[in-house]
Amino acid sequence: MNPFFQIQLIVSGAYLLPNCRQQNIIKNGAVAIANDTIVDVGKRSDLLSRYPGVKEIHEPHGLLMPGLVNTHTHAAMACFRGFADDLPLMTWLQEHIFPVEAQLDGAMVYDSTLLSMAEMIKSGTTSFCDMYLFAKDVARAAEQAGMRSWIGEVLYDFPSPSYGKLEDGFTYVRELYEFYRNHPLITITVDPHSVYTCAPDLLKKCGLLAEELDTLLVTHLAETKTEVDLCLTKHGATPAGHFENLGLLGKHLLAAHCVQLDENDIELLATRSVNVSHCQESNMKLASGTAPIPALLQRGVTVSIGTDGSASNNDVDMFSEMNTVAKVHKVSTMDPTTMSAETTLHAATLGGASALGVDDQIGSLESGKKADLIVLDLNQPHLTPLYNIPSHLVYAARGADVVHSIINGKPVMQNRKLLTLDESALIARMAEIAQKVLTIRKRAHEGS
């Protein structure tokens, strides 16, 4: 495609999986990268012949594949990992998370986000969609880590420790959008928290802002039965119906969770081309239920996978998430053919890219797409013998099997060593932040 002198890097291994299909595997495959873009995909021998003298990252037992796309995170909640486990969602939020979040600051969010990004990179995620407080600090962390990200400042009816009064929240979002509008890795979204923390006028205003900025509207939707019952009582409709009545359902909407949906809700999401982020492990841990993913897929809904935050998961490992997603839906439908390995892997790669509106840029390894890819070491007991690669990726692989990670053409991890982050320093800083969190919780409980 381009003259060979523009190629800066060739990445190669024993196998190349360009998408989720076993039939498309290239043995002894490679990709050639120029700047931030994949310009050639094929046999290693062919690429080395076409582009002599180019730097190569070669993994003899390696599998090259698209980087994983995590479509729902609260990255900074890594500081709450294991903080208030084994509680119902509303108790967890209102009595533990919200009171401590009210005392967070930008520095704590920045460091906690970096920790989560270190974990994501080390477990194969190259893109993520985040909604949280102090989004300017989240974006600053994403720049430091070199991760592709969609970032939004969460908006709700009560004052925020980040921006203060609600009206200032919209100013904050606009400032964030203007600052990053031409950034190669960071996209700003509009993020009303949920129907139970946002009045109808706030939701409509968020929808108008997302339309004006031509960006995604990201929210939590129908996560629990309590949320649905509350919405029915207050607004006379389910959360999906409420969003429909407000004119907010559409292809610009990324709805996280979507657990408690009835048949009408499913039909609405399909008809309006809403994108869904499925967060199975978080939904299990908080006993929210299991989203009707097979039914959504049957109706043609774009389904992606998210980990949610480490406070409710308790990790951001997408390999673990894929494993859970595939197995839970088999047992919930009593059908072992449901959520096949290839279907699940698609949701974690190209499905995620589609949900974010960038399936023409990432999610598969093709010439012309951005160079976001990972390399796994297959030479391990739990990955031997090897019959079907998508099956191994969903049912046997672990995040720790990822040895190299490249985002936008730049290596961010090589041989398990992070290249953009100081892992040891991060872990040390998090020990200090954990002490602050415990102190804040103690004060909050003493004051209640």
pLDDT at 2 over 80: no
Judged by phi (left if over 0) then psi (alpha if -120 to 50, else beta), residue 149 lies in beta
Contact between residue 286 and residue 258 where contact means Cβ atoms under 8 Å apart: no
pLDDT at 43 over 50: yes
pLDDT at 95 over 90: no
pLDDT at 446 over 90: no
pLDDT at 5 over 80: no
pLDDT category, 448, cuts 50, 70, 90? Answer: low
132-141 pLDDT per residue, tens: 999 999 999 9
Residue carrying the six token digits 């390399």: 375
Q: What is the mean pLDDT of the chain?
A: 96
Say what the pLDDT of residue 390 is: 98
190-239 pLDDT per residue, tens: 999 999 999 999 999 999 999 999 999 999 999 999 999 999 999 999 99
358-375 pLDDT per residue, tens: 999 999 999 999 999 999
Please give the DSSP secondary-structure letter assigned to residue 21: -
According to CATH, the topology of domain 68-355 is TIM Barrel (3.20.20)
Q: What is the rounded CA–CA span in Å between residue 260 and residue 184?
A: 36
pLDDT category, 88, cuts 50, 70, 90? Answer: confident
Structure tokens at 412: 């961010």
pLDDT category, 72, cuts 50, 70, 90? Answer: very high
* Average of per-residue pLDDT across 35-48: 98
For the chain, give every domain's residue range. Answer: 4-67+364-415, 68-355
* Average of per-residue pLDDT across 281-310: 97
Q: What is the rounded CA–CA span in Å between residue 65 and residue 392?
A: 13
316-334 pLDDT per residue, tens: 999 999 999 999 999 999 9
CATH number for the region 4-67+364-415 comes to 2.30.40.10
* Average of per-residue pLDDT across 100-108: 92
pLDDT at 189 over 70: yes
pLDDT at 1 over 80: no
153-188 pLDDT per residue, tens: 999 999 999 999 999 999 999 999 999 999 999 999
Residue count (the chain):
448
pLDDT at 262 over 70: yes
* Average of per-residue pLDDT across 326-345: 98
pLDDT category, 99, cuts 50, 70, 90? Answer: confident
Structure tokens at 223: 């996560």
pLDDT at 439 over 50: yes
Where would I find the H helices in 334-422? 341-348, 350-355, 389-395
Say what the pLDDT of residue 409 is: 98
Cis before 415? omega within 30: no
Say what the pLDDT of residue 199 is: 98
Say what the pLDDT of residue 98 is: 85
Nearest to 274 by CA among 284, 266, 263, 283: 266
Where would I find the H helices in 217-340? 225-235, 239-245, 263-271, 280-285, 293-298, 318-333
Judged by phi (left if over 0) then psi (alpha if -120 to 50, else beta), residue 300 lies in left
Contact between residue 309 and residue 77 where contact means Cβ atoms under 8 Å apart: yes
Say what the pLDDT of residue 162 is: 96
Say what the pLDDT of residue 4 is: 46
* Average of per-residue pLDDT across 231-252: 98
Residues 174-209 as b/e (b if ≥16 CB within 10 A, e otherwise) read: eebbeebeeeebbbbbbbbbbbbbbeeebbebbbeb
In the sheet that 125-132 helps form, which strands lie side by side, from edge to edge?
68-73, 125-132, 148-155, 186-192, 217-221, 253-257, 275-278, 302-305
Query: Considering the chain, what percentage of its residues have pLDDT values greater than 90?
Result: 91
Q: What is the rounded CA–CA span in Å between residue 74 and residue 56?
A: 35
pLDDT category, 389, cuts 50, 70, 90? Answer: very high
